[in-house]
Structure 1
Amino acid sequence: MDTIYQHFRPDEKEFIDQVLSWKQFVEDTYAPKLTDFLDPRMQQIVETIIGTNSDIRLASFGGYLDAERKRMLLYPDYFQPNDDDFHLTLFEIQYPSKFVTIAHNHVLGSLMSLGVKREKYGDILIHDERIQFFITNEMSEYVKLEFKQIGKTTIQLIEKDMNDVISTREEWKEAITTVSSLRLDAILSAIYSISRQKTQMLINRGYVKVNWKVIEDPSFQCQEGDYFSVRGYGRSKLMSLEGKTKKEKWRITTGILK
């Protein structure tokens, strides 16, 4: 079993144990297991662990084609999953859009203040003045009853059909560059074209997240597939490692969310 952990970071052990328990559940009961919403890094871990197991199949759905956060379904080979098996509800927020502006973090903060854990709701979609979010069916009634305002603004939740989801396709601007090491400060410096000193300051202040976790260590070693979020600079990704140059620098492909 130890060999599995070698492929991941030490702080991911707890989640890996959870994935292994889901796998065991499906094997023991011969029944499907539905997860909560997982971020892309977690999805990657599940795919790595389950993907090689021929007895258990894997499906994922976050409410629409390009969803970032998704629920995953581990199931035995007899089972035929469809979208309804992911138990999702889509809500649209009605608010006085002529008078107030509501941002992603306002919706996030309001849901968290109701005691709704982050793994219980998926992507928050904002396009023009429309705002939608996905939530697990088991939390939908509670949220419908309790979610009445964002800040001081009174809102109303309207349940929508899945086909009415807002279209917001993410686009990544890709670039190929070289870095002296895979340290976090070096990677961010290359992606955002800012000095190592500036990236170190941002990291030390807690302004940087790697795979949705705050990282305050500039020497943190990055890996292929890592997602970054830097306050004031937006989101990016280390898409691939292309090998080393003759001068022993890493050639990398990066992406910045447009």
Structure 2
Amino acid sequence: MSNGDIFVGTAILILFGAGVCAAVTLRHSEARASGWIVIAFGWGFGVLAGAYTAAPLSGGQLNPAVTIGIAVDTGKWDKVWVYPLGETVGAILGAVLAYLVYLAQFQANVRKEGDSDSDGPVPTLGIFSTVPEIRNPVANLLTEIIATIALVLPILAFGLTEGLGESGTAVLVVSLLVVGIGCSLGGPTGYAINPARDLGPRIVHTFLPIPNKGTSDWGYAWIPVAGPLIGGALAGLVYNAAF
């Protein structure tokens, strides 16, 4: 096991993910307003690149919810506190790198004389972390729990398919799974389904000197952490009982 490959793999994941959100959101981006499908595929490709990077040593784990699910299923808890540390620090780095890629666009996120409401500053938290469309803690938590089960349970089941892991195809399948979750279940909360994916970039958003960046919404931040962890644990229990 190497915490370094998890760190680098998660940084790549967030670079792609926050990068596609910035591309679609920021008003001086060539890809502005490309839509939700582009975001879903951007995150899927981020998983693809990050997980293949981390796969040789860690098995491609970039998500504490997956780590929890595996631990609940196997009873092996020795890596549970090591992996999330590398994942969270890697997510911080990835968010910083995405910010640097779009530095000029972030700096231009100001209201200028003559700007209409549509041309003015845009909220930036959604580039880094999840923001619910309707703020309802119970509903938001349930969404994250169910979406994470939909991620972790198939990942655990992929281990039953002979040759999938050895061929490297499992990473591709998981990437497509993330795209599918984004398209089908991501609408209510923006589908964190990964505590490190939300927490690390939210920390970065708090401290970055982004003009008109608005709130980092720490009052909501517990949901995209607790929901995926609960969902990961439940997925491990279901898998252990059913398979």
Which of the pair is proportionally richer in helix? 2
Which of the pair is proportionally richer in strand? 1
Which one scores higher on RCO, CA 8 angstroms, separation ≥ 6?
Answer: 2
TM-score range, shorter chain: under 0.3
TM-score norm. by structure 2 comes to: 0.25
TM-score norm. by structure 1 comes to: 0.24
- Look at both structures and tell me which one has the larger radius of gyration over its CA atoms: 1
